[in-house]
Structure 1
Amino acid sequence: MTERAAGPRDADGDPDSRSVDAAAESTPTDAGRPVRERSGARVTRRQLLRTAGTAGIVGLAGCAGRQYRTPPDCSSVAAAAGGDGYEPLPADDGISMFRRGLRRYGYYPEETVPSAVRVDWSFPTNRIGHTAAKSTPRPTPDGETILVASDTGRIDAVAPTGERRWRIDTGASRSLGFHGTPAIVDGTAYIGGYDGDCYAIDIASGDVIWRTSAREFGGAIAIGSSPAYIDGTLYLLAEYSDPASGALWELDAATGNPTWSDDRLWGMPHPSPAIDCRAGRLVTGSNDGVVYCWEFPSLEFAWSFQAGGEGGPNGEAMADGRFHLGAQIKGTIPIYDGAAFVGSWDGRFYRLDIADGSEEWSFETGRVIMSNPAIDPDRGVVYVGSDDSFVYALDAGTGDELWSADVGGRVIGSITATAETILVGSYDTHLYALDRATGERRWRVENRGHVTSGAIPRGDRIYYAERGRFSNYDDDEAETVLEEPGQAYCLVPDE
């Protein structure tokens, strides 16, 4: 794949701003890269739909192209995990990713949240009414640069004190921008956009190192998941239409070349893949209400689990390619203690055995669950938010409720667990800090729009972002108006 440098400056001539034109994308060819053939071992559901006259994407089924991939080496990661340790990556390996690591715990035990905070700086970032959770600001491993990806297709790199290092506007500006969070590895940020492209960006300069086009993902219309990185390899989910479906992709991080994919997912998947090298599993969910699990790193398919909901698809689509909703799985699924922890739109939160996908317990909130849960492995507690406006602390082993806290609005973003505090954004426009042991409110900060990104503590600072503020958004008879763009924020202690 050809490397593509960043394009010209933006219209106002800002020397820190670069633009990447989606229309300039060259047509991919098979020259110099392996040609992937469809596996004869399994006929995918999308193939069946096409033979029945249903339009579908150019899919790559199951084991296609596996002879051209080199499975990543998991031995160092498995050894560093230390059993069920919170961070399955060495602390000094130059890697930072969504939900803290491959197991997606969202756990920062070394960080202490101040007893009172104030806003140190903010700047406008999100302007699109799409209700998916917004991208979470991501500090580099050394904490010296924070990347803020926007639903406008823009990425800002700022110093901890708020000074802008650079800005890039990408081809994702023609769609719904970015909702995933960058994975940062040795000075390079990897992020997928709602244009269906995946970008590798040099953090020092803001230059685009490579860009994998939607066409190279088989005609993807969006990438909303945040990449997982291990041993030179990236894993992410792509979304498709006609029919609504998805695929898990493996990429070479150095070049962006796709090396493997599996298109068995139905519904347009939003979660980010979670990987447990010690257990040898990769899991994710999708809008069809199904949890999918592969052996890792072989990527042989292991099992699937169907959540409840009215008219769930039961793993199959109807004849015309549509499926009934009701149990969508939007949140990323953490892996802990030999189990996957899954929130569903059917109003239940599940613990599934990672070995075979069997249900070990479920907890009912009665309302949609789409937040990304946090895991505290030191205490064996999982924290999850719901559309019922509550955050729940559950015993990870039994599913028993330890406490619940009302946060005034829907919780659709990521929950963060720190040394003594739970950080959670709410649809009531506030960021909440809750006592980790009791759920009692320590403080809350009022913002402008719904707080739907994760909140990331780093030193004495907390970074997060919100959705824009709109009028008439839920009124089909009136024009939706952006009243105020959503902001990215930095909180500091209020002495």
Structure 2
Amino acid sequence: MSEEAADRRDETSDREGEIADGPRFSRRQLLCTAGTAGMVGLAGCSGRPYRSRPECSPITAAMNTDGYVPLPADDDISMFRRGLRRYGYYPNETVPSSVRVDWSFPVNGIGHTAAKSTPRPTPDGETILIAGDTGTIHAVRPTGERRWTLETGAGRSLGFHGTPAIVGDTAYIGGYDGELYAIDIPSGTIVWHTRLREFGGSIAIGSSPAYIDGNLYLVAEYKNPAKGALWEVDAETGTPTWSDDRIWGMPHPSPAIDCEAGKLVTGSNDGVVYCWEFPSLEFAWSFQAGGEGGPDGKPMADGRFNLGAQIKGTIPVYDGAAFVGSWDGRFYRLDLEDGSEEWSFDTGDIVMSNPAIDPDQGIVYVGGDDHHVRALDAATGDERWSAYVGDRVIGSITATADTILVGSYDTNLYALDRATGDRRWRVNNRGHVTSGAIPHDGRLYYAERGIFSNYYDEDEETVLEERGHAYCLVPDE
């Protein structure tokens, strides 16, 4: 294991071992008393209140059309990894043979190693929303002209790392202050935001919400003990309508939903994939990745926690399967029906990036700490190609009609030929490129981490040398 990987593993253990001040309660006690209006129903809490199940049939019907359709297919909905199934696939977008930076400006300045928020264009492409790890949300036009800037309470902590879900004129995003925000896009004002007590004292929401039929789905993090919960929230009011607190180990991934298979999946730092029936939200199954075991070889609290098996990347769902990268160095295909392992690929090092899937060709693209991006056959796990990208990949991989876009810890954004993995070009930046790169109307948007000195040196003060920027690339003609 590399020194930096060990440091990140120690960082995860330290953070999840934090002790909160004040009286201690079990996570179930906290969450069962969280809904002051009596709206929250938890796994293990008696008397689940009424919840209106979202309607999946329009989405299922759209899935049966010819060709790839991002789901939901509504023209006014846009979300992280481009849809509920989290493919990160843009088959109608092409990448220029050469590019230049059209504009950039500083957005990130916190020394947290988590992947940074991915810029999200509105469905009409007229506004780009960029959430920073300082708690600020920026709205700009494609040309870089600023529409507005919004400071939020997330600036008290580690800001934003998730990506907004956009529905019409409203953007929804969770912060590392443990609160969920609804933002009016035309005006840049807060429509509503939840309070900590509404999510049972959550310390962070690092996942990006999934939206379907008036409901948002996200995971929240807790400490003392280190746990998580899956939440359903009414998008109009911000009212939590259901939750399940069975997750251990502070989850980061964003939920993925497959309406055709009737499943919702997410993962967590305990190395477990959790799956619920959808839309009923009855728990279906769990899968434990490998790892070294918990502290001193014992489980953490009364839940499973395998150090070295953390699942930090969002899990796309395709072809009746879930595709999972783990810190145990393996990339898995799991049967959505029962969670059984169908195949796994040994990369030899930590896998924490968000993979992309090309459903037309049946290929999954995955990057990891071994400094490579791989194209794997989604059905068999066979390697089609492998490409060296200079350093670790911890952010999102994007697949377009001709190109794979991937950011690296070596400060470059790479464009790789989708068929061969050959490098088409790379753009050097300031800091580690850990957001996804989003193509829209001939432009590419992405963000980087801030530049720090002494970050891994315990004996020296960590210093922010320069803020990480958001970028827009255009064809270099």
The aligned residue for residue 490 of structure 1 is: 472
Report SS of the residue matched to 2:59: helix
Deviations 1:181-205 (A, max 9, x none): 0000011000000000000000000
- 2:435 is aligned with 1:453: yes
Alignment of structure 1 residues 408-427 onto 2, 5 Å: 408-427=390-409
Report SS of the residue matched to 1:410: coil
Cα separation, 2, equivalents of 1:321 and 1:355: 23
Alignment of structure 1 residues 139-288 onto 2, 5 Å: 139-288=121-270
The aligned residue for residue 382 of structure 2 is: 400
> Which of 446, 452, 472 is matched with 1:470 structurally?
452
The aligned residue for residue 59 of structure 1 is: 31
Cα separation, 1, equivalents of 2:68 and 2:226: 35
- 2:371 is aligned with 1:389: yes
Deviations 1:62-93 (A, max 9, x none): 17564321010011111112279543435443
Contact kept in structure 2, 1:244 and 1:322, CA below 8 Å: no
**Residue identity opposite 1:56 in structure 2:** S
Cα separation, 1, equivalents of 2:66 and 2:208: 22
Cα separation, 2, equivalents of 1:307 and 1:173: 34
**Shift of the alpha carbon at 1:54?**
6.2
Question: What TM-score does the superposition give when structure 2 sets the normalisation length?
Answer: 0.90
Report SS of the residue matched to 2:380: coil
Deviations 1:277-296 (A, max 9, x none): 11100000000000000000
**Residue identity opposite 1:104 in structure 2:** R
Kindly report the root-mean-square deviation, in angstroms, between the aligned alpha carbons of the 2 structures: 1.6
The aligned residue for residue 48 of structure 1 is: none
Contact kept in structure 2, 1:370 and 1:412, CA below 8 Å: yes
Residues 92/293 of structure 1: CA separation in 2 closer, same or farther (3 Å cut): closer
The aligned residue for residue 332 of structure 1 is: 314
Deviations 1:388-413 (A, max 9, x none): 00000000000000000000010000
**Shift of the alpha carbon at 1:419?**
0.2
Cα separation, 1, equivalents of 2:151 and 2:245: 30
- 2:418 is aligned with 1:436: yes
Contact kept in structure 2, 1:86 and 1:107, CA below 8 Å: no
**Shift of the alpha carbon at 1:215?**
1.2
Contact kept in structure 2, 1:84 and 1:337, CA below 8 Å: no
Cα separation, 2, equivalents of 1:141 and 1:318: 43
Contact kept in structure 1, 2:184 and 2:191, CA below 8 Å: yes
Contact kept in structure 1, 2:92 and 2:401, CA below 8 Å: yes
**Shift of the alpha carbon at 1:56?**
3.1
Deviations 1:160-199 (A, max 9, x none): 0000000100000000000000000011000000000000
**Residue identity opposite 1:59 in structure 2:** L
> Which of 350, 354, 361 is matched with 1:368 structurally?
350
Deviations 1:204-248 (A, max 9, x none): 001100101121000000000000000000000000000000000
Contact kept in structure 2, 1:111 and 1:459, CA below 8 Å: yes
Question: What TM-score does the superposition give when structure 1 sets the normalisation length?
Answer: 0.87
Report SS of the residue matched to 1:79: helix
The aligned residue for residue 20 of structure 1 is: none
**Residue identity opposite 1:93 in structure 2:** D
Residues 84/338 of structure 1: CA separation in 2 closer, same or farther (3 Å cut): farther
Report SS of the residue matched to 2:80: coil
Alignment of structure 1 residues 89-104 onto 2, 5 Å: 89=71, 91-104=73-86
**Shift of the alpha carbon at 1:55?**
3.9
Cα separation, 1, equivalents of 2:169 and 2:399: 26
Cα separation, 2, equivalents of 1:192 and 1:353: 30
Contact kept in structure 1, 2:81 and 2:88, CA below 8 Å: yes
Report SS of the residue matched to 2:62: helix
Deviations 1:414-447 (A, max 9, x none): 0000001000000000000000000000000000
Contact kept in structure 2, 1:243 and 1:321, CA below 8 Å: no
**Shift of the alpha carbon at 1:267?**
0.4
Deviations 1:457-481 (A, max 9, x none): 0011000000001000000000000
**Shift of the alpha carbon at 1:318?**
4.1
The aligned residue for residue 124 of structure 1 is: 106
Cα separation, 2, equivalents of 1:206 and 1:274: 28
Q: Which runs of 5+ in 2 are unaligned?
A: 1-22, 33-41
**Shift of the alpha carbon at 1:312?**
5.5
Give the count of matched residue pairs. Answer: 441
Report SS of the residue matched to 1:67: coil
- 2:292 is aligned with 1:310: yes
Contact kept in structure 2, 1:121 and 1:162, CA below 8 Å: yes
**Residue identity opposite 2:415 in structure 1:** A
Report SS of the residue matched to 1:72: coil
Of 79-88 and 195-204, more deviation after overlay is shown by: 79-88
The aligned residue for residue 40 of structure 1 is: none
- 2:110 is aligned with 1:138: no
Contact kept in structure 2, 1:72 and 1:232, CA below 8 Å: yes
**Shift of the alpha carbon at 1:372?**
0.1
Residues 464/319 of structure 1: CA separation in 2 closer, same or farther (3 Å cut): closer
**Residue identity opposite 1:338 in structure 2:** G
Cα separation, 2, equivalents of 1:182 and 1:319: 33
Residues 165/432 of structure 1: CA separation in 2 closer, same or farther (3 Å cut): same
Cα separation, 2, equivalents of 1:463 and 1:323: 36
**Shift of the alpha carbon at 1:365?**
0.6
Residues 321/401 of structure 1: CA separation in 2 closer, same or farther (3 Å cut): closer
Contact kept in structure 1, 2:387 and 2:421, CA below 8 Å: yes
Cα separation, 2, equivalents of 1:84 and 1:131: 40
**Shift of the alpha carbon at 1:59?**
2.2
The aligned residue for residue 96 of structure 2 is: 114
